[in-house]
Amino acid sequence: MAKKSLRRGLFITFEGTEGCGKSTQSRLLYDCLKRSYDCVYTREPGGTAAGDYIRHILLHSKKIKISDMAEVFLFEAARAQIVREVIRPSLKAGRIIICDRFSDATIAYQGYGGKIPLKLIESLNAAATEGLKPDLTIILDIDINTGLRRAKKKGIDRMEAKDIAYHRRVRAGYLKLAKSEPKRIKIIKVESDLYKTQENIRALILRNYLTTKLCHFPI
Ligand code: TMP
């Protein structure tokens, strides 16, 4: 059966603090949507050859020094590339794009977490995204301790190694962002059953963005 394209594409991003399960949830959604729609799955930092190099520097090069401001510019550089190379062309072709993190992450992490002025980050975000904002952003909300415990099971990267106060500020930042843009940003509580969380995500998307009946589990 031919897959549907939308007239102007749909851009969905997933956000949340460490160990919230956003990669699993965004993938489950992608696996479901791609049965009926022309879909692209990607992530930040990454999603392009340049972005993958930058991701490696940011997350896995533990021995090199990266100042707070250099960190911001590296995230923004990866973003500028993915917007030009992947996101804009996919939207133009009417695809659904599911992106694991996007510009809200820099506000929450480097802004609220790292205390870089929000105004500066907002203007860098605007430049890197060429003014593009997601149609829908899903923040998966989880208690910080539970999330960090889950994340640590997979090994710790440079961002996860920041102290707990940093991660608490990141969560508070995400919650503030959701309050300031309630139409675009929706909070979904992380349930202990991952399929329940996924059901809530699909229900939200069906209510607001798509009309096609979505697949049920098992997918
Ligand atoms: P993740 O793909 O496992 O979520 O890892 C990405 C890490 O990078 C995560 O710790 C959040 C962090 N990050 C920022 O600090 N700022 C950003 O702008 C982005 C996109 C990610």
Alpha carbon of 203 to those of 108, 140, 198, 208: distances in Å? Answer: 26, 15, 9, 9
CB 74 within 8 A of CB 81: no
pLDDT, mean of residues 178-195? 97
The binding-site residues of ligand 1, defined as CB within 6 angstroms of any ligand atom, are 43-45, 59, 75, 100-101, 105-106, 109-110, 159-160
Quick one: which atom of ligand 1 is closest to the CA of 157? 10
Q: With 80 as the cut, is the pLDDT of residue 192 above it?
A: yes
12, β-bridge pairs: 98, 136
Query: Measured in angstroms, how far is the CA atom of residue 16 from the centroid of ligand 1?
Result: 9
57-87 confidence digits (pLDDT tens): 999 887 899 999 999 999 999 999 999 999 9
- The model carries a pTM of 0.95
Q: With 90 as the cut, is the pLDDT of residue 1 above it?
A: no
Count Cβ neighbours within 10 Å for each residue of 77-87 and write b for 16 or more, e otherwise: bbbbbbbebbb
18-63 confidence digits (pLDDT tens): 999 999 999 999 999 999 999 999 999 999 999 999 999 999 887 8
40, β-bridge pairs: 97
Predicted confidence band of residue 217 (pLDDT cuts 50, 70, 90): low
pLDDT at 216: 62
Q: Whose CA is nearest to atom 19 of ligand 1?
A: 105
114-172 confidence digits (pLDDT tens): 999 999 999 999 999 999 999 999 999 999 999 999 998 888 888 888 999 999 999 99
93-106 confidence digits (pLDDT tens): 999 999 999 999 99
Quick one: which atom of ligand 1 is closest to the CA of 75? 18
Higher pLDDT pick, 208 / 173:
173
The token pair at 4 is: 């549907």
Query: Measured in angstroms, how far is the CA atom of residue 3 from the centroid of ligand 1?
Result: 31
Query: Measured in angstroms, how far is the CA atom of residue 218 from the centroid of ligand 1?
Result: 30
Quick one: which atom of ligand 1 is closest to the CA of 101? 20
pLDDT at 213: 66
Q: Which helix (H) or strand (E) holds 187?
A: strand 185-189
Q: Whose CA is nearest to atom 21 of ligand 1?
A: 105
Residue type, 19: G
- Tell the CATH topology of 10-208: Rossmann fold (3.40.50)
CB 108 within 8 A of CB 122: no
Predicted confidence band of residue 88 (pLDDT cuts 50, 70, 90): very high
Which of 159, 160, 166 has most ligand 1 atoms within 8 Å of its beta carbon, as the pocket-test mutant? 159
The CA distance from 86 to 98, in Å, is 11
Alpha carbon of 87 to those of 3, 41, 129, 214: distances in Å? Answer: 19, 10, 9, 23
